[in-house]
Amino acid sequence: MHPMSGIDGRNAPVAVAACFDWLTFVESLGDEELAAEIVALFIVETPAMMNRVRDAVRGDSAEEIRQAAHAFKGAVGNLTRIGPMETSARLEAMARGEADGDAQTLMSQLDHEVDGLLEELKAVRLPKESCEF
């Protein structure tokens, strides 16, 4: 099992390792207020983005899966390059026919990883004006 995958050999969710580093994120942006706004927006927007990915997987349309996974990969890639970004990239590649995989299995893994990331993000002490979720 890949340490960040969240899925073991039997496809059962396992603990997800931390994939967000607040200090590194703030340092990369050079602006704590902007970092807090991005995190707050991601927390608010993630349910809709994930619903789009889930709906595409349920609809079994390769093009819709590719588009939804690509859009989510871009959003989550602002926060982390591991875990959910890697999984959404694999889902996108699978939909393009460039990688093997099962969309349902990858979707389950992505759900699990995103749940873990959201928990990490919500644990960050954001300025009150950024916390409208």
In a domain, 8, yes or no: no
How many folded domains does the chain comprise? 1
In a domain, 66, yes or no: yes
Torsion of CA 116, 24, 75, 50, to 10 degrees: 10
In a domain, 10, yes or no: no
In a domain, 64, yes or no: yes
* Predicted local confidence at residue 19, as pLDDT: 78
* Predicted local confidence at residue 4, as pLDDT: 30
* Predicted local confidence at residue 133, as pLDDT: 45
In a domain, 89, yes or no: yes
In a domain, 11, yes or no: no
In a domain, 16, yes or no: no
Task: Give me the domain span that covers residue 44.
Answer: 22-130
In a domain, 6, yes or no: no
* CATH number of the domain residue 109 falls in: 1.20.120
CA dist., res. 73 & res. 37, Å (int): 19
* Predicted local confidence at residue 1, as pLDDT: 30
CA dist., res. 70 & res. 132, Å (int): 26
Q: How far is CA 130 from the centre of its chain?
A: 20
pTM of the model: 0.79
| Per-block mean pLDDT, blocks of 10 residues, the chain (133 long) | 32 51 91 92 96 96 96 94 94 93 94 94 69 47
Count of Cβ atoms closer than 10 Å to residue 106 Cβ: 24
CA dist., res. 126 & res. 30, Å (int): 16
* Predicted local confidence at residue 68, as pLDDT: 97
Count of Cβ atoms closer than 10 Å to residue 122 Cβ: 13
